[in-house]
Structure 1
């Protein structure tokens, strides 16, 4: 039926159900909650454990304690000095952890993840929002999401520190060395760089505000590369959570002498 200027449009059908979706739309937000809660719980315990974070023999430092700048750190693990007080409630890497947390909290993907899972805003496509009113990101504290581009610069600096840790770890009692722990550290560093470079802010820095790509071939190539990574931003976000936890657990296991690091060289 078509409407004319004199024919009012037909009203929408009155549907009592909140959604007509019959698939398991609730599974994705549920798994997101379980995954994030499990990771945050593990990371919090490890950050405040303040033990088994450094393997002196091979210079392995877990990323959860990097850079280790507390007076309570093992001196050899403090590549950048010790200037924070030693306190049980102050993480050894308190200089960088807040910025890493804020970078991920304001990340475009993670915002989608916890908006849908924890806040049910909305939990899935074609499913009503869990709140009566929607104000977007125009009010505090969500207004702070706009600071993501600045936390990106901090994340780049921290990725450089993690890269330096991986370089320092190529050590053995006799000089140069390379073991399974080095593989774990480098895989984590590469994954972190991929996730950081796939950030929407990085993509804008590479090619934003350019009117003619032909006049900026270097930036165009960089923008094209970052754009390809950007399509995998969600996968990289979860991958880096896994590599961070795996790297920390491996270093902890070697430091606690639960396992012995398998050495290829040295």
Structure 2
């Protein structure tokens, strides 16, 4: 109920000026939360930072990414002439001998671009690294808020195009997983511990990719009459159920792809031999 004592907006106050401008309620405290609201964004930032450090190290390492029949998901498909000899996984020497850097840098831009522009990851690193906002009911420290309307954040709108690139990458990783059912001599009928690691990873990769908001929109976002498109309606419902778990799948697949790469690194560097299950 208005009492006539509320602070009035300052004349000429620009929209988007933050919560500490003249339109803010007369509350002395910065916020009224008494719980450990900072814990979630801090944990998120720590988890994402750990993956960034690890993936950067592995991307530039240019070594220990292949051990028959496994190839690291960070390096597949291998598109450079300087790839290690591979009979496991796609090895297309599209880039000639002039490419002297790690071949992982040629392919990682697509799955990482897909995750970087993902709706959930935006929320995660906006809050974790930029404090925009740090938590619900906690004001962000920035004086102005422009959202994703200006460069460089306006580029987040290309997320749907990264989705188109992420689907074939997931398909190639599926092919790598099928080839993981061979032994070191490329004979079929093998299953090692690495095979299970690759199976877990590809299931989570597909679940995360298909739970994407862009996928849900592509499947049924423009339909006006679901009754006239029963197949797409069923697919839309299925993707919607996955979408409800998009955050969980985002983290699970992030851990699984790093685990698959680390497993290949361990056996390729000679830390241990891949245990054979049958």
With the length of structure 1 as denominator, give the TM-score of the two structures: 0.92
Unaligned residue ranges in structure 2 (runs of 5+): 8-24
Structure 2 residue 11 is matched with structure 1 residue 11: no
Between stretches 223-232 and 63-72, larger displacement belongs to 63-72
CA gap 1:105/1:123 in 2 versus in 1, 3 angstroms: same
Whole-Å Cα distance in 1 between the matches of residues 117 and 212 of structure 2?
11
Report 1:83-232 matches (<5 A).
83-85=94-96, 90-172=101-183, 173=185, 175-176=187-188, 177-232=190-245
Q: Could you tell me how far 1:81 is from its partner in structure 2? A: 1.7
Runs of 4+ in 1 over 4 A off after TM superposition: 85-89
How many residues are matched?
258
Q: How large is the RMSD of aligned CA atoms in angstroms?
A: 1.7
Matched position secondary structure for 1:82: strand
User: Which residue is 2:78 aligned to?
Assistant: 68
Matched position secondary structure for 1:75: coil
Retained in 1: the 8 A contact 2:177–2:198?
yes
Q: Could you tell me how far 1:10 is from its partner in structure 2? A: 4.2
With the length of structure 2 as denominator, give the TM-score of the two structures: 0.88
Whole-Å Cα distance in 1 between the matches of residues 232 and 272 of structure 2?
46
Identify the match of residue 249 of structure 1 among 245, 262, 265: 262
CA gap 1:236/1:169 in 2 versus in 1, 3 angstroms: same
Retained in 2: the 8 A contact 1:119–1:130?
no
Whole-Å Cα distance in 1 between the matches of residues 77 and 186 of structure 2?
25
User: Which residue is 2:13 aligned to?
Assistant: none
Unaligned residue ranges in structure 1 (runs of 5+): none
